[in-house]
Structure 1
């Protein structure tokens, strides 16, 4: 019996924010995977090690969590005034699919750095020392991200003293600007970043009844509910949620109800193939709690607490795109996020998450009866963990 040999594909393994992923240049992918479709999906699943019934990713590059089961493709941009096109795939762990429905805000940080490393940014635009402004076209959601990447001696500076809760070691700070982050292409509300047209809705959830909910499409489609309304304090860590199948089922039912109300899916069954979006998050007023690192987060340090789920599990920190949704909703008086933060007008919030705290800023305004957001800003970090080639069996895609 003959077996296909393994093939080598140039790749770079990177951390971006609190996520990790395998990065590829489009031109380095096998021809069949250079276009969207089954071959690309099968390749990425094999690279990550999915679907894995053991949920360990022992035979792949994935880390068996939503934060570490990701692939990214970058190429020279097809858009005017942009440097690179950035396409992101969230690979399911124990199911055979890749979700292309949204962005990864954390890996957006690494996308800016990788674009320079990979020679995709015009050398004339890279200073010998200073900051390189990388103009990224986020191809999943058709939005612009600006990454301010520090440069030392003509190369990306990766080491530094910027500390990010949820990441073990300090690194160089990269500032991200998400321009016009509201996703206006989905949902029943048309051009509104609130698809239902309301800042707060009564969301009917089978088995739970009616819950107040804020549903927003800034950064990534997100359904916000109050922690107290679903039996939580808002100080929970991963083990309190992820080890409780009933809790996960309850939160998934809220997510599905929100997806239906937002017009993102037409039937509850579709949610199984759209796990990446929308996100479900619960909010509460500030409280003192102990983060997963053992560090105490004092109530006075934060404006509110937020816990969010990604791919059906409570995230260990906070997804970057969800942070954009948090910052935007906090800036708009009347949303549940704004209420949890104490109400009023604000352009930035610091929120508590399971690993610590994060500050995010957003500029929102009401125009013609519609809320718009011009940009959201946050700081993250990124670095290369390994570079070279990944190997996959030639007959696996």
Structure 2
């Protein structure tokens, strides 16, 4: 019979590297420490701007990381190699029972590969998500991380199906729910009391826009067309655009009379916002337009219509059981989808197990795994 491991026997290392990771590690760290397990936190520094990382630690009440790798920006290869080189000596020194990684960024796959080379078991939070778009670096990261992981923590039933279809042993797969929703439900009341909407003087019915993926923003002409499609569809509504540093650099590089600069002038542009202000803006928006994976989930949990500017999603449950709709990346189609959703937003829905207990179920599975001898993923 499976049993949980005593607290004194369980040591973990948790790795975070980018904004979406922070909301996922917070409830897992809390659950581990509530049970008096040792849990060291490694911040790789993949997002190194305060507005993109440290502010989230402050708002979520996450203690200062035990280790900060300060990897910073760079190519996919440079970031992955940087994390591996910096993490290897830490793993050798601490030798945790389990390394926990979250999401699908370069830090995730780099940490998983480093641990696997040292035969340290890996637990992947948010396992099994698939877009089946190999042009997305995140898809490569997801698939490789899952293959290396002994513990696969699936957020939804479709993720379990994906893992089973890829031949993963049932003993490795744990349907735990969505840990990011744990954080959202804990912070929602606090977030909606934030004054950001009033401070910006936003009228009812505003549209919230976020966009940062290279396929959408790296070509200034395409970016201008997408932003114009959103502004046109909004039909006089405020369009609030917290601008990612990547996009800000692209806009700044354009001549003042360019189509992109002209289109941006039609929007209410903000600096990147913290987690609580992001939730407050989402909760108050009539519709959210995004290319973010995490915001697809957050809007579903908040019951707010979402239009995703991507050809596919690794989170199809937000479409089948949530408030999300995939619009692709053709500006004319994006405009039409937004206009249709503004006229008919649909009914809010929330997937099963998005109940605020996913982190507790995750730690339950880790305890049983360690108590049973931490089998290798090929066992």
TM-score by length of 1: 0.30
TM-score by length of 2: 0.31
Q: Hey, which of these two has a bigger chunk of helix by percent?
A: 2
Q: Hey, which of these two has a bigger chunk of strand by percent?
A: 1
